[in-house]
Amino acid sequence: MKILFIASEVAPFAKTGGLADVAGSLPVALKRLGHDVRIILPMYKTVGEGTFPIHKGRKSVEVRLGETLHKGFLRQTTYADMPVYLLENRHFFQRDHLYGSPEGDYPDNHQRFAFFCRGVLNLLKRMDFRPDLLHCHDWQTALVPVLLRYEYRQDPFFMNMATLFTIHNLAYQGLFPKTALAEMGLDWSYFTIDRLEFYNQVNLMKGGIMAADLVTTVSPSYCKEILSADQGCGLEGVLAERGDDLFGVLNGLDTDEWDPATDRQLFKTYTSATLAGKVVNKKGLQKRLGLDVAPDIPLVGMVTRLASQKGIDLLAEILPRLAGEKVQFVLLGAGDETYHRLFEDFTAHGFGNISLNIGYDSVCARQIYAGSDIFLMPSQYEPCGLGQLIALRYGAVPVVRKTGGLADTVFDGRDGAREPNGFTFDDFTADALWEAVQRALQSYRTRDVWKKLVRRGMNRDYSWQQSAGDYERLYRAALTRKRI
């Protein structure tokens, strides 16, 4: 099969979150299954600053948005033996950030990604690659299935092309006032309830969900949860309408990238058979962060965006309790300014067993996964979650709220169905989190039981192999179910 991944961020070229990891590692797994997989993303300023040799091609496209004709240029590079295409337009993509500055989203995001979507479709006719399937991700690429269904499929070149649309986080929908329609070069025929209209606004994600041949999200549990008013972010009705075509496929992990046996950023590499190496990492982390170097004190870690989704309010509530326990707690996170201030205030009190670190630091993150005994993820909702998978692979036992992808990957001995690899709690309250932390600490004291738990987590297969097979089957289904 010929598959084109169309995404607004792809690791290692451009990344703000989990989407980039998926768009960078799933294609590699699909290629291993024998498919011709290629990737296209916008040519951001930051991509050009990387170490990738980007070839300047001569192919160009024109996209009319409202009054203005915008020109795009096709660039190309290679990653994991795969062609990676980049659509260049300096006006739209030569900026410091992907979607917005710290002050807020770029006001022309609708135009930037409308340009990208139409630009990609226009380019296809000029490239020597005619995909069978377009795999689109989140609202930034949602116009691809919409345009394909209502415009491009009338052209025999596109007639047999199918689309699969993946939701990575339903909370970000690409919502714009209706004046955005003309600015994106779309006429009023698109402003209907079965296309882009949503409570008198333009909702790009809704359009993608309605128009794609198949829709997926990144874990089976999240797939069910988003059908409820509670977690559907207003789109539960739209999703229910596509219920027969909606599937949850769990994200995998790039197991070459995340491997304690080869990770060069660690104080010492280790495997489940050489757990002594993990103690070296614990001591190294304690020393680096100015904590007591004490291998027997349980070390609880957290690496996260500081956003309310991640349960940071629950953490803030239990911090004083952690400060009074015989544990060490280490946080690395960046995000909402209010949380930065809250943690700076807490740090000013100088609790010797708590280390709160504000910032984004991929080396320190790896050292925390390796040095922690316990890893917290008390998320309010979690489409899939990568943190708990990395923690398991690095032998840090996860304590998570049972939601979305966390519920699909972390199992508590109490539910009986699966062998335990961590600790879970249900209610989104500080008390429920605290009770789960207590259970983890209790178990930590029984060394044999604990080691078994750690090893079981480390030895599970987190690779993309199985999920890539699931996507392969869904691609085939999409090809036979094209919406006309």
Q: How far is CA 336 from CA 32, 102, 313, 348, 375, in A?
A: 39, 10, 12, 19, 21
CA separation for the pair 465, 467 (Å, rounded): 6
| Nearest distance from C-beta of residue 270 to ligand ADP, angstroms | 18
| Nearest distance from C-beta of residue 439 to ligand ADP, angstroms | 22
Strands (DSSP E) along 100-232, which ranges?
100-101, 104-105, 133-137, 162-167, 175-177, 197-198, 201-203, 214-217
| Nearest distance from C-beta of residue 266 to ligand ADP, angstroms | 14
Check residue 396 for interaction with ligand ADP (CB under 6 A).
Answer: no
Check residue 304 for interaction with ligand ADP (CB under 6 A).
Answer: yes
Contact 146, 140 (CB under 8 A): no
- The neighbour count for residue 192, using CB atoms within 10 Å, is 10
| Nearest distance from C-beta of residue 381 to ligand ADP, angstroms | 10
Q: Which stretch binds ligand ADP (CB under 6 A): 22-30, 128-136, 189-197, 386-394?
A: 386-394
The smaller minimum CB distance to ligand ADP, of residues 89 and 367, is found at 367
Q: Which of 74, 124, 332, 453 binds ligand ADP (CB under 6 A)?
A: 332
CA separation for the pair 238, 325 (Å, rounded): 47
Check residue 334 for interaction with ligand ADP (CB under 6 A).
Answer: yes
The smaller minimum CB distance to ligand ADP, of residues 18 and 260, is found at 18
CA separation for the pair 87, 43 (Å, rounded): 5
**Residues in region 3-22 near ligand ADP by CB under 6 A:** 17-18
Q: How far is CA 477 from CA 145, 352, 463, in A?
A: 16, 57, 23
| Residue number closest to ligand ADP, CB atom | 18
Region of residue 199 (phi > 0: left; psi between -120 and 50: alpha; otherwise: beta): left
The smaller minimum CB distance to ligand ADP, of residues 365 and 436, is found at 365
The smaller minimum CB distance to ligand ADP, of residues 134 and 332, is found at 332
- The tokens describing 134, both together, are 């377009």
Which residue type, as a one-letter code, is found at position 390? Answer: I
**Residues in region 344-383 near ligand ADP by CB under 6 A:** 360-362, 365
The smaller minimum CB distance to ligand ADP, of residues 89 and 403, is found at 403
Site string for ligand ADP, 457-476 (x = CB under 6 A): --------------------
Check residue 275 for interaction with ligand ADP (CB under 6 A).
Answer: no
| Nearest distance from C-beta of residue 365 to ligand ADP, angstroms | 4
| Nearest distance from C-beta of residue 127 to ligand ADP, angstroms | 31
CA separation for the pair 193, 133 (Å, rounded): 26
Q: Is 25 helix (H, G, I), strand (E, B) or coil?
A: helix
Check residue 422 for interaction with ligand ADP (CB under 6 A).
Answer: no
The single-letter DSSP state of residue 287 is H
The smaller minimum CB distance to ligand ADP, of residues 159 and 171, is found at 171
State how beta strands 133-137 and 162-167 pair. parallel
CA separation for the pair 438, 58 (Å, rounded): 62
Q: How many residues bind ligand ADP (CB under 6 A)?
A: 16
Check residue 36 for interaction with ligand ADP (CB under 6 A).
Answer: no
Helix (H) or strand (E) holding 410: none
Q: Is 443 helix (H, G, I), strand (E, B) or coil?
A: helix
Q: Which stretch binds ligand ADP (CB under 6 A): 35-43, 148-156, 299-307, 313-321?
A: 299-307
Footprint on this chain of ligand ADP (rule: CB under 6 A): 17-18, 303-305, 332-334, 360-362, 365, 385-387, 390
